[in-house]
Structure 1
Amino acid sequence: MLLRTDKPKIKWREEFTLPAKPDTWGNPEPLGTRSVSTDGRVSITEREVSPERGIIFNSWAVAPGDPKGRYVIRVFIEGVLASVFEFDVQ
């Protein structure tokens, strides 16, 4: 995600919602914090990063045991909803 900022550090939050609870959310978050909703469908990752040329990013991969259906990723920058990504896993 490209940001227009002069700030040396940016706080972002990602809310990743799956259609059903996955078998696992993977390894612990190495660079920030991750929590999972009580129903297991939403992973919330928070980090503070230094944008390289205004770019911040994160990545996920579909793994065995991940549910089929609509996935939604909501990204917040400094507490403000910046973007929503939606896609289907079949």
Structure 2
Amino acid sequence: MVCFSSLLPRFSPERRRVLARCAGVVLLTCQPFVAWGASLEIVDAEFGVFDASRANEIRFLPTLTVPHRVGQRYGWIIDLNTRQRSVSVREEYLLPSAVQGGEANGVLVIPMERRNQASQRQLVPQEGRIIGEWEIGPGEPPGRRHLQVFVEGALAADFEYEVK
């Protein structure tokens, strides 16, 4: 391996300044990509309901059952290790296909789940934690749900829960 500094005496002072500037530009250009690519680790993910019944306090209660009550807050908390100031988060509901399984014209039909993107946003981790929160709306039907949360394009959490 050749040491860059050992080559410097062969060049004129002007050429050394040009090489130093070029090396600086290369280092500054590459550094953000190296730091960004390997700086995210999902530590834990939980789904549950948020209880705001006490003044000045919101509690998170882990559960996979959400009461079917208008205004009931629910969602997820993901703990992560990152040096990034913000992370890209996408939430997708997996909806069952409208086609029921069975046989049609002698061919076995297997329903496929389809995706419905619910949200896409940038979240700022607070003390290594990001939170996604929803609320039961008027006329929202009860039933089973399947939600996947992607952080920086990678699946970070997969929740199956029921609203009842």
Percent identical pairs in the alignment equals: 39
Shift of 1:45: 0.5
Which residue pairs with 2:158 in the alignment?
84
Aligned pair in 2 of structure 1 residues 64, 18: CA closer, same or farther (>3 Å)? farther
Bigger helix fraction: 2
**CA–CA distance in structure 1, aligned partners of residues 162 and 139 of structure 2:** 15
Alignment of 1:15-26 (within 5 A): 15-17=92-94
Q: Which deviates the most, 48-57 or 10-19?
A: 10-19
Which residue pairs with 1:11 in the alignment?
88
**CA–CA distance in structure 2, aligned partners of residues 61 and 18 of structure 1:** 19
**CA–CA distance in structure 2, aligned partners of residues 89 and 49 of structure 1:** 26
Report 1 or 2 for greater relative contact order, CA contacts < 8 Å, sequence distance ≥ 6: 1
Aligned pair in 2 of structure 1 residues 82, 59: CA closer, same or farther (>3 Å)? same
**CA–CA distance in structure 1, aligned partners of residues 124 and 136 of structure 2:** 27
**CA–CA distance in structure 2, aligned partners of residues 17 and 62 of structure 1:** 18
Bigger strand fraction: 2
Q: Unaligned 5+ residue runs, structure 1?
A: 20-40
Q: Paired residue for 1:52, among 126, 144, 150?
A: 126
Root-mean-square deviation over aligned CA pairs: 2.0
Could you tell me the TM-score, scaled by structure 2's length?
0.38
The code of the aligned residue for 1:4 comes to N
Which residue pairs with 1:70 in the alignment?
144
Shift of 1:55: 0.8
**CA–CA distance in structure 2, aligned partners of residues 82 and 54 of structure 1:** 14
Could you tell me the TM-score, scaled by structure 1's length?
0.65
